[in-house]
Chains A and B, each alone.
Chain A
């Protein structure tokens, strides 16, 4: 019988390799790999995750860049003596920063009202002038002071107090410096909530979640792989935005890269947890989209992405500071722009950890796999 026993039972393919044994982490590794492949193969997603924040940073950075030197444009009404006044302004020490145009009165006033000129100077024909300006437009107030200064010193006024000025525009206090960490925080929120929430509901709607739990797959592996893919994307997001800030706008990163990564990870975990919570019961993409937008809306407005939240009434500031995006933006700004240490930001780190931890626990309790 020994011979008979050695004859292989007719299996499909005699050349097939011996059965392989999968290790503990085989499922996790394949899930992570599959998730990354899917992301890379989805061009729209690449744009929304990476391209959109970069374009936003580029656009806003250019629009609000500091102008090389503030130039004021003024119109002089073409009364007698207009040309002398123009000459006097241009020969004054301030002359290089004042652009002068001589126009008819009505024309000059109309252009002033449309914002083309910051000030209208009307010579009275007897050597004197009248300034026409708008106190509600700060640039016209500045322009009036500057032009008056130019005229008076051009006419020979001596300043009783000798004064000199020094120009100081350091990187770190410009709008782009404020913007880049805010955009980074916002990107981590967007991709954390959409990346987790949308992906899960999409898979639930396609019955893929149900199909997965019909296998011996560990549910924890599945969630870990989703988190892993988020963290990999986070690294790229941070690299791209900071890289753009440093190369295109000379943003100086004072904090250590390690601290920034720790904060990025915390932020991703917090928003990943919120995305998971948003997606834990929803059966339809429409439902989860609504929930995510509703959750993100207050943070877009209040959390200081594009402008400082200090403008809001002091009474609501504590609530604003309890939002996860506020905590993340503040922590990123302090770290990137001021080089603050992590230990000096325990409060913000705690806010992020609490949001992430609580939403994760609730989401797992309510999660619907089928």
Chain B
């Protein structure tokens, strides 16, 4: 499969001191949906804007569809559809006028009517942008990217601040684009979005890729597929930490806000042992749940922080 986006040793330093991106490598294949996952301030937006040709990297190489910015800018602009984080489109233009305006910049755009139909904006075609809901605005932003008939779609936090239904609508739009053979690069700090939408992910922290792979890969690399969370009275000390670690099937132990989380491969062997331990230690079990491991767990495991904490 041909490479859609490639960057090598990408670095970006602002004002000579703030290092937003420090040596980032990515290789994204045509036809895949690739996600950049990371907390706010991790360097996601800087990275995607360098790839989009909107920011100049301090050093490093970017190749998009075999071309580079600067030598083939005009062609690349025709091939890319971009939705920035928080663009406020003109409020006094209608949805149709806005899409037509963006269509007019491309040599061979798609029909505005078709794009509006696909993004469920037909009903709002003549409404002013100022009157749209958050979800509709975000769909319009994506519509202005899709109307150019792009080969690659860049989405910077496309669903931040949207309600669950609007988020699902956007995911469906992305899937439709992927089914048509397009490539998608998106940034997000939502785990579920990355898990459901992306074929592959790069977890970014402090301007570097700290893990890369398919969502299942990453979770598997964590060791266990499951997480057992519980709380006991008396509170844990370093001593008991080792007790829990010694339970059968436990890969790692984490403690946070009085809750102990175990990454486990087989909950059905771990849980009886855990209950035995609680009984023999004369502890009281306050809380017990099990769940599937998520990317959030991967992130916490890798960085010791939650994604939202930044």
Which positions in A face B, CB cutoff 8 Å?
11-13, 16-17, 19-22, 26-27, 29-31, 34, 37-38, 41-42, 206-208, 210-217, 370
> Does B217 interact with chain A (Cβ within 8 Å)?
no
| Cβ-neighbour of A29 out of B86, B104, B176 (below 8 A) | B104
Tell me, rounded to whole Å, the shortest Cβ–Cβ distance linking A315 to chain B. 45
Measured in the bound complex, the distance between the Cα atoms of B178 and A38 in whole Å is 35
Measured in the bound complex, the distance between the Cα atoms of B31 and A322 in whole Å is 61
Q: Which residues of A contact B106 (CB under 8 A)?
A: 22, 215-216
Q: Which of B12-20, B77-85, B286-294 contacts the other chain?
A: B77-85
| Cβ-neighbour of A20 out of B53, B92, B111, B180 (below 8 A) | B111
> Does B205 interact with chain A (Cβ within 8 Å)?
no
Contact call A214/B82, Cβ cutoff below 8 A: yes
Contact call A210/B87, Cβ cutoff below 8 A: yes
Q: Which residues of A contact B196 (CB under 8 A)?
A: none
Q: Which residues of B contact A34 (CB under 8 A)?
A: 90, 93, 97, 101
Q: Which residues of A contact B104 (CB under 8 A)?
A: 22, 26-27, 29-31
| Cβ-neighbour of B54 out of A16, A38, A370 (below 8 A) | A370
> Does B109 interact with chain A (Cβ within 8 Å)?
yes
| Cβ-neighbour of A19 out of B55, B86, B108 (below 8 A) | B108
B144, closest chain A residue (CB) = A211
- A-B pairs with beta carbons under 8 A, tally: 99
Contact call A19/B110, Cβ cutoff below 8 A: yes
Measured in the bound complex, the distance between the Cα atoms of B106 and A16 in whole Å is 18
Measured in the bound complex, the distance between the Cα atoms of B297 and A101 in whole Å is 98
Contact call B101/A211, Cβ cutoff below 8 A: no
Contact call A16/B97, Cβ cutoff below 8 A: no
Interface string of B142-178 (1 = CB under 8 A from A): 0010001100000000000000000000000000100
> Does B89 interact with chain A (Cβ within 8 Å)?
yes
| Cβ-neighbour of A37 out of B53, B92, B108, B148 (below 8 A) | B92
Residue from B74, B87, B105, B180 with most neighbouring chain A CB atoms (10 Å): B105
B103, closest chain A residue (CB) = A22
Measured in the bound complex, the distance between the Cα atoms of B107 and A22 in whole Å is 5
Q: Which residues of A contact B102 (CB under 8 A)?
A: 215
Q: List 24 A-B contacts (CB under 8 A).
A: A12-B176, A12-B180, A17-B111, A19-B108, A19-B149, A20-B108, A21-B107, A22-B107, A27-B104, A30-B105, A31-B101, A37-B93, A206-B87, A207-B86, A207-B87, A207-B88, A208-B89, A211-B87, A215-B77, A215-B102, A216-B77, A216-B78, A217-B105, A370-B54
B118, closest chain A residue (CB) = A12
Residue from B55, B77, B149 with most neighbouring chain A CB atoms (10 Å): B77
Given contacts A13-B114, A22-B104, A30-B101, is CB(A213)–CB(B92) below 8 Å? no
Measured in the bound complex, the distance between the Cα atoms of B110 and A161 in whole Å is 92
Contact call B90/A38, Cβ cutoff below 8 A: yes
> Does B117 interact with chain A (Cβ within 8 Å)?
yes
> Does B296 interact with chain A (Cβ within 8 Å)?
no
Q: Which residues of A contact B199 (CB under 8 A)?
A: none
Contact call B111/A30, Cβ cutoff below 8 A: no
| Cβ-neighbour of A213 out of B54, B100, B101, B176 (below 8 A) | B54
Measured in the bound complex, the distance between the Cα atoms of B101 and A370 in whole Å is 19
Tell me, rounded to whole Å, the shortest Cβ–Cβ distance linking B103 to chain A. 8
B86, closest chain A residue (CB) = A207
Q: Which residues of B contact A17 (CB under 8 A)?
A: 111
Measured in the bound complex, the distance between the Cα atoms of B104 and A30 in whole Å is 7
> Does B32 interact with chain A (Cβ within 8 Å)?
no
Tell me, rounded to whole Å, the shortest Cβ–Cβ distance linking A36 to chain B. 11
Q: Which residues of B contact A42 (CB under 8 A)?
A: 92
Contact call A211/B82, Cβ cutoff below 8 A: yes
Contact call A214/B101, Cβ cutoff below 8 A: no
Q: Which residues of A contact B97 (CB under 8 A)?
A: 34, 37
Contact call B87/A215, Cβ cutoff below 8 A: no
Measured in the bound complex, the distance between the Cα atoms of B54 and A370 in whole Å is 7
Contact call A22/B84, Cβ cutoff below 8 A: no
Measured in the bound complex, the distance between the Cα atoms of B113 and A206 in whole Å is 26
Q: Which residues of B contact A38 (CB under 8 A)?
A: 90, 92-93
